[in-house]
Amino acid sequence: MELILTEKHTDGYSVNWKIKETLHVEQTKYQHLAIVETYEFGRALVLDGIIQTTVKDEYMYHEMIALPALMTHPNPQKVMVIGGGDGGTIREVLKHPSVQQVDLVEIDEKVILACQKYLPEISCALTDSRVRIFVEDGIEYVQRHKDKYDVILIDSSDPIGPATNLFHESFYKNVYEALKTDGIMVCQSESPLFNRELLGNVHKSVKNLFPITRTYLATVPTYISGFWSFTMGSKRYDPLNAEIPLDVVNRLKTKYYNADIHKGAFVLPEYVAELFR
Ligand code: SAM
């Protein structure tokens, strides 16, 4: 009997994943959590029935949520990652030589534990001595920290369940205040094709707070539409004018990000650019 995971994205659009084996399933305090072995994309983390990250293509998302900001900021030392319990973003952040401390704020400890057990290639950096893990709601955590971080990455699940309020302007305002005077924030801002209204609202909210607001795209094959958006709010440094430290980039041994991708990612097709006019 074939095992199929059906990801229902809209009433008219679902994606079927052929599953070799279900390795772990539990209902946590916040969401339904599963780790599955897929035929096409290897092992994957699934939250509330939606594929979050897969071994085959996770590097595309994790490099692109972390590196544009880290290469735009001239000296990123203190970084916060909100969400990101799989550890992939943390792994990318720690590759940057100037990073001294990364605070992970993940609401659901079960995600961390499951990914450490079943997705070691993604969660491997969570035990690094520069990482501090706070198991709590990112919404509350940011309210307690002012003028403290060089970069804050909001690596959230979709705006359902515990992540719903991570897409509100009031949250971005607290993120703004948790950043130093030259800090940079990046949030994953969903699909430019399926979540157009949300993406437009995120961009507007960030623009209301930050002097520099840039949305950029990356391909993430396992996400709906295959294209994914990220929205950057920067207090001082413009990613379009960033002097990309090529020596650092070459040492990172990336599989997606490079200096040309950095520039190209911010060049938007009309169907996306029109959302921000
Ligand atoms: N799309 C991402 C990726 O490709 O890796 C998903 C990253 S991670 C799985 C998303 C995390 O955000 C989940 O582990 C979830 O528990 C966490 N999360 C959701 N709402 C949160 C909140 N309010 N505060 C902190 N973490 C939250």
- Output b/e per residue, 213-239; b: 16+ Cβ within 10 A: bbbbbbebebbbbebbbbbbbbbebeb
d(CA 233, CA 176): 8
Is the Cβ atom of 107 under 6 angstroms away from ligand 1? yes
What's the predicted TM-score (pTM) here? 0.97
Scanning the structure block, which residue is given the tokens 């994309």?
A: 41
Is the Cβ atom of 68 under 6 angstroms away from ligand 1? no
Is the Cβ atom of 139 under 6 angstroms away from ligand 1? yes
Is the Cβ atom of 84 under 6 angstroms away from ligand 1? yes
pLDDT exceeds 90 at position 161: no
d(CA 138, CA 153): 11
CATH number, domain with residue 40: 2.30.140.10
Ligand 1, atom nearest to 137 Cα: 24
Residue 28 shares a structural domain with residue 154: no
**Which residue's CA lies nearest to atom 8 of ligand 1?**
84
Q: And the tokens for 25?
A: 């399933």
Residue 155 shares a structural domain with residue 114: yes
The strand pairing partners of 231, in sequence order, are 187, 215
Scanning the structure block, which residue is given the tokens 């690596």?
A: 155
Residue 35 shares a structural domain with residue 141: no
Residue 97 shares a structural domain with residue 22: no
**Which residue's CA lies nearest to atom 5 of ligand 1?**
53
Residue 17 shares a structural domain with residue 88: no
Q: What is the distance in A from the centroid of ligand 1 to the CA of 105?
A: 9
Q: And the tokens for 155?
A: 């690596």
Residue 29 shares a structural domain with residue 154: no
Q: What percent of the chain has pLDDT over 90?
A: 92
CATH number, domain with residue 142: 3.40.50.150
Is the Cβ atom of 239 under 6 angstroms away from ligand 1? no
Residue 79 shares a structural domain with residue 49: no
Q: What is the distance in A from the centroid of ligand 1 to the CA of 69?
A: 19
Last residue of a domain, one of 13, 28, 54: 54
Residue 40 shares a structural domain with residue 64: no
| Spatial CA neighbour of 91 closest among 116, 62, 60, 61 | 62
Q: What is the distance in A from the centroid of ligand 1 to the CA of 241?
A: 30
pLDDT of residue 236: 98
Domain that holds residue 171: 58-276
Residue 31 shares a structural domain with residue 128: no
pLDDT exceeds 80 at position 9: yes
Residue 24 shares a structural domain with residue 159: no
Q: What percent of the chain has pLDDT over 70?
A: 100
Q: Which of 150, 155, 238, 247 does the annotation list as catalytic?
A: 155
238 is catalytic: no
Neighbouring residues of 277: CB distance < 8 A, sequence distance ≥ 6: none
| Spatial CA neighbour of 150 closest among 123, 181, 129, 173 | 181
Model pLDDT for residues 226-272, shown as the tens digit of each residue? 999 999 999 999 999 999 988 999 999 899 999 999 999 999 999 99
**Which residue's CA lies nearest to atom 11 of ligand 1?**
83
Residue 86 shares a structural domain with residue 206: yes
Q: What is the distance in A from the centroid of ligand 1 to the CA of 138?
A: 10
Give the number of domains in the chain: 2
Best mutation site among 107, 142, 190 for ligand 1 pocket (most ligand atoms within 8 Å of CB): 107
pLDDT of residue 121: 97
Model pLDDT for residues 94-150, shown as the tens digit of each residue? 999 999 999 999 999 999 999 999 999 999 999 999 999 999 999 999 999 999 999
Ligand 1, atom nearest to 105 Cα: 25
Angle between helices 196-209 and 169-178 (to 10 degrees): 40
Give the annotated binding-site residues for spermidine. Answer: 62, 86, 155-158
Stretch 24-48: mean pLDDT, rounded? Answer: 97
Please state the three-class secondary structure of the chain as a single string. Answer: CCEEEEEEEECCEEEEEEEEEEEEEEECCCCEEEEEEECCCEEEEEECCEEEEECCCHHHHHHHHHHHHHHHCCCCCEEEEEECCCCHHHHHHHCCCCCCEEEEECCCHHHHHHHHHHCHHHHHHHHCCCEEEECCCHHHHHHCCCCCEEEEEEECCCCCHHHHHHHCHHHHHHHHHHEEEEEEEEEECCCCCCCHHHHHHHHHHHHHHCCEEEEEEEECCCCCCCEEEEEEEECCCCHHHCCCCHHHHHHHCCCCCCHHHHHHHCCCCHHHHHHHC
Sign of CA dihedral 206, 207, 208, 210: positive
Residue 239 shares a structural domain with residue 193: yes
